[in-house]
Amino acid sequence: MSRLQGKTAVITGGGSGIGLGAARRFIDEGATVYLFGRRQAALEAAVAELGPAARAVAGSVTDLADLDRLYATVRAERGGLDILFANAGTGSFAPLGDITPEHYDQIFDVNVKGLIFTVQKALPLMTAGASIILTGSTTGVMGTPQFSIYSATKAAVRNLARTWALDLQGTGIRVNVLSPGPTRTELAEEVLGEAALAALGATTPIGRMGDPSETAAVAAFLASADSSFMTGGEVFVDGGLAQV
């Protein structure tokens, strides 16, 4: 497969889970991938696994100077950017009545503010035909007990894509949302726990958890010219959880 041959991609939150799965797939299809995240050890392990087509830049999407350094590195080494997978995210439970300003700030700062500036600062590097992929979630369209703040951030991501598709008219840059369902990642296991993940996977029409490689396959589709007539949309990779 070589749909992404010669392309340059940035993946935030790329050291593990869906981000790492997407990096594997993008590289398999010919791309050079920059992984951006806060955990230096995870980034180094990912690059060691992925090989010479992978680069790592440590930093946080909530730090504008870190984002500037990321894109300065891409510009210096590659000249431009073809694919941005804005995948960094965080979440934790808090029922109504127990929501604190700190809980709100932490999740909105990463999932919304961080995503906005991840995309905005990338724009000068992106050319016609470039693809922006935003990580959404089934929680953006479903009620999920004790998960209202995280869910609200993902609903915001969905509307950002709709609006940005209009803002980007005439540029040739596309933006779409990729929304996973219950997927076996480190973050999901940390937030939900193994038992809750297995139970959630069993509620899907497919009857199991998703694997990051399955989401990565759809990310590669959205990154490639195969999705050239798609923008402002949302693609669910959720085992049918939010569809029936």
Could you give the residue numbers annotated as active site?
150, 154
Tally the C-alpha atoms within 13 A of residue 143's C-alpha that lie toward its C-beta: 3
Q: Give the gyration radius of the chain's Cα atoms.
A: 17
123-143 exposure pattern, b = at least 16 Cβ within 10 A, e = fewer = bebbeeebbbbbbbbbbbbee
| Torsional sign, CA 229, 233, 238, 239 | negative
Give how far Cα 164 sits from Cα of 21, 132, 186, Å: 26, 10, 30
